[in-house]
């Protein structure tokens, strides 16, 4: 019984800790930034920047500026899905989403969610 | 495509937009107000009684439903569906366009709920494992209802709770949930366990231990269809819900169902994604711990809320959680509707399109391969958000009424009102928490 209680305490603490993050993204720590319709994401090595959630409008042409020290691929979980390549250096990718919803954009190798577009 | 789904992206493209905060707050306030109104004004002597509730169903309907041919036809439907699944699972290709994934995660898991709420205990009627068990019994000249030994009462619904957990684990936590091998293995293990259980314990095993039959039959208690002394009756869903038999482990079944759905919303929240990505501990381990914490947390809260009351001489306190667990079923169904309605319609429909080509060779065997997609709900996010909140609030109201009626039946008179408060508080927490997660996801 005491073991169960201990386990419950550990799990609850873990959950509580996980909920402690602030809602507002800290402008200094993220390596991404946005201004209307233009989103910057920086990849350094295998480090992934903190996930950003960016509100965009349905049908809006969203520019994603990737600065990376190696080439790679982004996977846009829209409907239908899209795969976009980026080069070493700066690449500007354009995405247009025609349907409301939250679209995940993931990087491949290494796997990481980098961006969510909140399309409404 | 190996590995790219490490984020357990699962099926379907974009997720639903979060519900607007004002809708979430309005829903939570409505739930709170309605709860206490029910407590203050509702009846003081129990209203629902399984022995007398319900009107006989129309004779023609009872005639059809009770006809042996009807039962056989439904079993054939179940076996055909299972056969189609096996065809795609064994001979199909390991692609996301294989209909196996949609059949497993959307038709079977999500579809079970609307089907049961509308039509009654669907899985019991079409379950291919029941049909196979009956087939084996016929071959060996034995009775499918009887096994080697009687099913122990102490086991109750515990095996079903474990089975449901195994399902939500592969759905929500296991990183390779959309690869063919693991899904095939999961289903094989399920079928093997069910056939073995049926052989040892007879059909009672399916009623109490088959995770899908337990889930389906619980949801069916919110349908208007019931049985009284074997006869088909039409009941109000509230009277029907009161006929749930409290068994050991029932509280764990509802805990896993609600906890896992809440976890599914929670894992999509930006905070959790950022936390797991920034953490040096593996995401899979953190997801595992969080799923366990959600299911265990909901179960413990529920058990605590039900047991925290004064009791009379004829009810033991430790029986209270299972005696009140049925009242959480409407909250689960309301939340499942909110969580899955758009996913079910869109991905369920896509699965019908894909099902026409089970071997991914361009075939269109069912003629459904060219159907247009359904995106109406996604295109009307305000309607979708309102529908979600309404479903959650209706679920909460039905739950509060069900718990009230059970409380006035089993609690001594001077604890009937105060004894309900802890359970009511737990329900308000579940509902408000569910709405918060729909807003925060």
Residues B126-169 pLDDT 10s: 999 999 999 999 999 888 898 999 999 999 999 999 999 999 99
Q: Do B7 and A111 touch (CB under 8 A)?
A: yes
Residue B3 maps to a domain: no
Provide the mean pLDDT of chain B: 93
Given this model, what pLDDT does residue A36 score?
Answer: 57
Helix or strand run (H / E) with residue B439:
helix B421-440
Q: Is the pLDDT of residue A19 over 60?
A: no
**Residue B9 forms part of a structural domain:** no
- Supply the pLDDT for residue B9: 56
pLDDT at A71 > cutoff 70: yes
The rounded distance, in Å, linking the Cα atoms of B410 and A117 is: 51
Q: How confident is the model at residue B216 (pLDDT cuts 50, 70, 90)?
A: very high
How many other C-beta atoms can be found within 10 angstroms of the C-beta atom of residue A60?
16
Number of domains observed in the structure of chain B: 1
Cβ B379–A111 below 8 Å, yes or no? no
- How near does any CA of chain A get to the CA of B284, in Å? 13
Give the residue on B whose Cα is nearest the Cα of A108: B4
Q: Is residue B332 part of a domain?
A: yes
| B5 within some domain | no
The string of pLDDT tens digits covering residues B1-36 is: 333 333 345 687 889 999 999 999 999 999 999 999
Q: What is the mean pLDDT of residues B367-392?
A: 95
Closest CA to B12 of B348, B382, B388: B348
What are A43's two structure tokens? 């990849």
What is the rounded CA–CA span in Å between residue B352 and residue A54? 33
Length of chain A: 120
* Burial (Cβ within 10 Å: 0-12, 13-18, ≥19) of residue B303: buried
Q: How confident is the model at residue A26 (pLDDT cuts 50, 70, 90)?
A: very low
Q: What angle do CA A46, A52, A53 make, to 5 degrees?
A: 145
Highest-confidence segment of B35-39, B233-237, B270-274: B233-237
Interface of A with B (CB under 8 A): 8, 11-12, 14-15, 18-19, 21, 23, 48, 50-51, 53, 75, 77-81, 97, 99-104, 106, 108, 111-113, 116, 118-120
pLDDT at B310: 86
pLDDT at A35: 52
Chain A to chain B, count of Cβ pairs less than 8 Å apart?
93
The answer to whether residue B8 sits within a structural domain is no
Q: Name chain A contacts of B9, Cβ cutoff 8 Å.
A: 77, 104, 106
Number of neighbours of residue B292 by Cβ within 10 angstroms: 17
From CA A72, how far away is CA B321, in angstroms rounded? 53
**Amino acid B290: pLDDT:** 98
What is the rounded average pLDDT of the residues B385-409? 95
Tokens 């949609």 identify what position? B102
Q: B181 pLDDT band (50/70/90 cuts)?
A: very high
The mean pLDDT value for A47-65 works out to 91
Whether A23 has a pLDDT exceeding 60, the answer reads: no
Prediction pTM value: 0.90
Q: How far is B34 from chain A (nearest CA, A)?
A: 29
Q: Which domain holds residue B109?
A: 14-440
SS3 content of chain B, % helix, strand, coil (to 5): 70, 0, 30
Element (DSSP H or E) covering residue B13 = none
Task: Count CA atoms within 13 Å of residue B116 on its CB side.
Answer: 32
Residue in A18, A99, A104 nearest the CB of B275:
A18
Kindly list the residues from chain A whose CB atom is less than 8 angstroms away from the CB atom of residue B17: 100-102, 118-120
Residue B7 lies in a domain: no
* B290/A97 touch (CB, cutoff 8 Å), yes or no: no
Comparing CA positions, the residue from B370, B365, B348 lying closest to residue B91 is B365
What's the gap in Å between the CA of A54 and the closest CA on chain B? Answer: 11
B6 part of a folded domain: no
Task: Report in angstroms the alpha-carbon separations of B4 from A52, A85, B282.
Answer: 20, 15, 16
Helix axes B421-440, B21-41, angle to 10 degrees: 170
User: Any chain A CB within 8 A of the CB of B289?
Assistant: yes
Contact list, A8 vs chain B (CB under 8 Å): 296, 300
pLDDT at residue A9, rounded to an integer? 43
- What mean pLDDT is predicted for residues B199-204? 95
- In the structure, what pLDDT confidence band is assigned to residue B196 with cuts at 50, 70 and 90? very high
B285 touches A at CB < 8 Å: no
Q: How distant is the Cα of B212 from the closest Cα of chain A, in angstroms?
A: 28
Q: Which of A11, A15, A101 lies closest to B17 in CB terms?
A: A101
The one-character DSSP state at B339 is H
Instruction: Calculate the average pLDDT of chain A.
Output: 75
Query: CA-nearest residue of chain A to B293?
Result: A11
Give the pLDDT score at A84. 92
**Cα distance between residue B170 and residue B182, in whole Å:** 8
The pair of three-digit structure tokens given for residue B181, joined into one six-digit string: 């091998």
């Amino acid at each position: 019984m005491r073991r169960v209680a201990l386990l419950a305490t550990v799990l609850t603490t873990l959950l509580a800790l996980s909920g402690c993050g602030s809602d507002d993204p800290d402008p200094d720590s993220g390596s991404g930034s946005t201004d209307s319709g233009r989103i910057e994401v920086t990849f350094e090595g295998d480090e992934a920047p903190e996930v950003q959630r960016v509100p965009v409008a349905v049908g809006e042409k969203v520019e994603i500026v990737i600065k990376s020290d190696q080439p790679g691929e982004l996977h846009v979980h829209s409907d239908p899905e899209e795969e976009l390549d980026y080069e070493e250096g700066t690449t500007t990718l354009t995405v247009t989403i025609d349907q409301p919803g939250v679209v995940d954009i993931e990087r491949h190798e290494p796997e990481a969610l980098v961006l969510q577009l909140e399309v409404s | 495509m190996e590995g790219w789904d490490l984020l357990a992206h699962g099926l379907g493209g974009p997720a639903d937009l979060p519900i607007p905060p004002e809708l979430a707050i309005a829903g939570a306030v409505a739930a709170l107000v309605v709860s206490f109104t029910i407590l203050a004004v509702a009846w003081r002597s129990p209203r629902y009684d399984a022995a007398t509730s319900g009107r006989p169903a129309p004779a023609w309907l009872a005639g059809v439903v009770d006809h042996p041919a009807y039962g056989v036809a439904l079993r054939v439907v179940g076996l055909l569906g299972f056969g189609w699944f096996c065809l795609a699972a064994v001979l199909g290709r390991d692609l996301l366009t294989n209909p196996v994934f949609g059949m497993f995660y959307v038709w079977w898991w999500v579809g079970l709920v609307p089907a049961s709420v509308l039509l009654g205990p669907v899985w019991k009627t079409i379950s291919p494992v029941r049909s196979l068990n009956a087939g084996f019994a016929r071959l060996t000249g034995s009775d499918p209802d009887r096994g080697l030994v009687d099913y122990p009462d102490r086991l109750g619904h515990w095996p079903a709770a474990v089975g449901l957990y195994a399902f939500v684990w592969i759905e929500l936590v296991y990183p390779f949930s959309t690869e063919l091998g693991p899904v095939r293995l999961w289903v094989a293990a399920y079928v093997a366990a069910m056939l073995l259980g049926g052989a040892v314990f007879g059909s009672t095993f399916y009623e109490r231990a088959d995770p899908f039959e337990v889930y389906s039959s619980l949801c069916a208690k919110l349908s208007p269809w019931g049985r009284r002394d074997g006869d088909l009756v039409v009941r109000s869903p509230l009277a029907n819900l009161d006929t749930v038999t409290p068994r050991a482990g029932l509280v764990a079944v509802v805990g896993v169902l609600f906890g896992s759905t809440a976890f599914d919303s929670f894992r999509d929240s930006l905070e959790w994604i950022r936390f797991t990505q920034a953490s040096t501990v593996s995401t899979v381990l953190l997801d595992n711990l969080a799923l366990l914490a959600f299911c265990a947390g909901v179960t413990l809260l529920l058990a605590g809320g039900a047991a925290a009351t004064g009791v009379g001489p004829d009810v033991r306190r430790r029986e209270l959680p299972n005696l009140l667990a049925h009242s959480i079923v409407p909250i689960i169904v309301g939340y499942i509707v909110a969580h899955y309605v758009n996913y079910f319609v869109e991905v369920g429909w896509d699965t019908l399109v894909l099902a026409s080509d089970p071997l991914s060779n361009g075939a269109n065997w069912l003629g459904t391969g060219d159907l247009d997609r359904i995106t109406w709900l996604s295109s009307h996010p305000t309607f979708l958000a309102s529908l979600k909140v309404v479903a959650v609030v209706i679920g909460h109201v039905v739950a509060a009424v069900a718990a009230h009626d059970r409380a006035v039946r089993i609690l001594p008179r001077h604890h009937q009102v105060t004894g309900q408060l802890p359970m009511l508080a737990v329900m308000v927490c579940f509902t408000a928490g569910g709405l918060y997660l729909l807003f925060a996801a």
